[in-house]
Homo-oligomer: A and B are copies of this chain.
C-alpha cells in the first residue's frame, strides 16, 4: 500500500512534481520480456500535457529513462527502475501554498498527514503528474498482456454533461480498443468531440473546469482470473483506479444501474457458442464472484473536475488562522479527462498482470494432473 502495489507484479512509484525526477520500480517483469520504448513513449504522450486546448500549456516531454532491469532490449527479470525528469518547474513562491488551502486539493489533508513537511511545490507527491509513472508501468503491463492476446482501451464516456455512446459490453473488439490508443480524444461517436470541447472551452472562459467519465474495457482475458474476496478483479482494479488522484467512483459492468434491476434482467444468461461458454448479456462486466468469466471486462471511472480554477474561492489561511479567498493562477487543465484515458487503461493493465501472475503462482508451480474438471 502507500507507494507500492502488488505481490507479483510489484510496483513502487515515487516523486514530486517539482523535484528533480519522478519514477517507478517494477519488480516482477518476466526475464526476457522485450521492452518496446517506442510504445512506452506513445503511451506517455497520451497522458502528457501538450498543445491540446483542453490541457495545460506546460510542456512535459515525459521522456522515460530506464536505469536498471533492462539489458539489450529485454527485461532482465530484476527490478526495472524508470525515471522521468522534471523539466518545466516554475516553483516561484510557495509560502502561499503552505498557507492558503486550495479547495478540492489535497493541500489541507496532506499537511495534516505529513505534519507540514510534504513538498508543496506544484502539488508535490499529490500532483496528477505522479500518474506518469503509473502510465509507464501500465505500458509495460500492456506489452505483457498483448503477447497473450489481451487488448485494453478506454474512451471518453462523458465530459461534463456531454456523453459519448457506450460500449456494447458483449461485442467489444480488440480493434475498437486499439483505435482508442491512437487518439488523444478517444470517442465512439466522433460527433461528440465538438460539443465536448465546447463544454471545456466554456468552462475555461468562465475560469472554471469540468470533469467526466472514462469507460475502459479489456478483451481476451481468459476466464478464471481473480479470486473471491480481497483478491477479486474488482477489488484489485479498484485499489489501483482509486489511487488515481481525481477518481471518485468506479463501476463494473452496469455498476450503480444494476442496483435497480431485477435479477431476471441483471443475470447474464449463458450459452454455448462455437464450443465456448458465452453470456448473452454482460451486466456483470465480465466478472462474477470476483473472477473473470471470459466476457469483456468493462468498467467506468468518474473523474472530478480539476480543482485548480482561477475563479475566486473561499478557503482558510493556516498561517493566520483566518478565513480568506483564493484565485488560482497559472497553467492548469480546464479538463483532464482526455489525458486520463490512458491512466485508467494502465490501472486495469497492472491489475490484470498482478492477477494473472497470482493465478500462475498456484496453478503452474504445482500443476495438477486429473480431476473433476469443467468442460469450459
- CB of A104 within 8 A of CB of B303, answer no
A228 lies within 8 A of chain B by Cβ: yes
- CB of A115 within 8 A of CB of B252, answer no
Fill in one digit per residue for A284-326: 1 if any B CB lies within 8 Å of its CB, else 0. Answer: 1101111111100000101111111101011110110111000
Q: How many copies does the complex hold?
A: 4
Given contacts A234-B242, A364-B360, contact A256 B267 (CB under 8 A): no
- CB of B271 within 8 A of CB of A316, answer yes
- CB of B228 within 8 A of CB of A235, answer no
A116 lies within 8 A of chain B by Cβ: yes
A355 to B321, CA, bound (A): 28
What class of interface size applies to chain A in its complex with B?
Answer: 35 or more
Fill in one digit per residue for A237-254: 1 if any B CB lies within 8 Å of its CB, else 0. Answer: 011111101011111111
A108 to B148, CA, bound (A): 22
Quick one: which of A87-140 are within 8 Å of B by CB? Answer: 98, 101, 103-119, 124-126, 130
- CB of A117 within 8 A of CB of B32, answer yes
A41 lies within 8 A of chain B by Cβ: no
Partner of A289, one of B106, B224, B283, B373: B106
A290 to B3, CA, bound (A): 12
Quick one: which of A187-236 are within 8 Å of B by CB? Answer: 203, 208-213, 222-232, 234-236
A107 to B284, CA, bound (A): 14
- CB of A68 within 8 A of CB of B8, answer no
Partner of A374, one of B111, B223, B225: B111
